[in-house]
Amino acid sequence: MLELARPGPLRPPRLVLRAAVALRRGLLALADAIVPPQLPLFEQSMGVARTQLLRQAVRLGIAERLEAGPRAAQELAREAGVQPDVLHRVLRALAAGGVFALRPDGKFANNRLSRALRAAAPASAGALAAYLGSGSNAAAWADLEATVATGQSAFRRVHGASVWEWLARHDGERRTFAEAMGHVTELDAPAIAAGYPFGELDLVCDVAGGRGALLSEILRRHPRPRGVLLDEAAVLAEAPAFLAGRGVAGRVTCHAGSIFEAVPPGCDAYLLKDVLHDWDDAACLRILAACRRAARRGARVLVAEVLLERAEASSPGALTDVQMMTVCEQGRQRSAAELQALLARAGFSPGPVRALAAAVSLVEAVG
């Protein structure tokens, strides 16, 4: 029980993270300045191939199969029921990009990157790789030309439905997406939980909080507050077991509903992590209006997102932004000023912006 109650580990301080990212970008830029420009452009043009290679590695559980030690593709293929030569070539291409290691004896082994693809890895990257390589997402990106021309969602144009309507009708893909978003949240949750005085609050509502990855981290780190988890009924189906596994089920009330219509009233804080970036300004105002109706005087809204300035080419912010642009309904990453303006239009008084030891920042407002 003590192990269950232990909060997740904190990532390095934000300045250290930013310095490491800047160093990586600088080294890559230096390498690109030395080699012929066609080489880095070729590698970037092959991004679609890398996405699909990662998806196959996750689908076949290669990282899990290599946990016992290095193995040849022929042995892996026999277990997975696939073609040996093709699997060797897939894994060789991944190893060329730094995912998996190809040994001189021709066997493949896990490395630091491939281990992060394991389903059991902390904040696993496997489900996200599987979702980004899914047929529905890939088809939307193949129609990017239409989005560039019209500004409208390529996903809706290709599939005749929004991404949310699509996921509601395709249960397997919905589960993969939910798992991916949960793992993304697990990466940021310790920094969010430690970076705000949640211990001063009595009741925290996680709006569109999925199965409760962030809310459970907050409650494990702070013994005082209770939580309300708001999401669609299908999403919340997995929450009770997850929250029980995290040791906080008795402190959380699950509330099924639409974030556009009614948010549970009477909470001290309403937390929206990676919610507003899915939507255009009009939809964001509807979500915030629902929060404003529910919020008592002095209640806080906490928006946790990757902030992106117009003259800033940071990754993953800029790449997340175009994923939202292509797949969601005119979604986008916003700057702190843009989020504060939305909060003000919804009737909140914008407060401080907190830099965290994570990719996301916390934009606060008071009702």
What's the whole-number average pLDDT of the chain? Answer: 93
pLDDT at 121: 96
CATH topology of domain 142-366: Rossmann fold (3.40.50)
pLDDT at 315: 65
Q: Do 268 and 180 contact (CB within 8 A), yes or no?
A: no
pLDDT (average), residues 328-334: 94
Encode burial over 82-111: b for 16+ CB neighbours within 10 A, e otherwise. Answer: eeeeebbebbebbbeeebbbbeeeebbebe
Catalytic residue among 159, 183, 222, 277: 277
How confident is the model over 135-160, as pLDDT tens digits? 999 999 999 999 999 999 999 999 99
Fold match between domain 14-122 and domain 142-366: no
Domain residue extents for the chain:
14-122, 142-366
pLDDT at 313: 76
pTM value?
A: 0.89
3-state secondary structure of 104: coil
One-letter amino acid at 56 equals Q
- Range with lowest mean pLDDT among 7-21, 77-91, 229-243, 272-286: 7-21
183 classed as catalytic:
no
Chosen CATH of 14-122 out of 1.10.10.10, 3.40.50.261, 1.10.375.10, 1.10.238.10 = 1.10.10.10
How confident is the model over 59-107, as pLDDT tens digits? 999 999 999 999 999 999 999 999 999 999 999 999 999 999 999 999 9
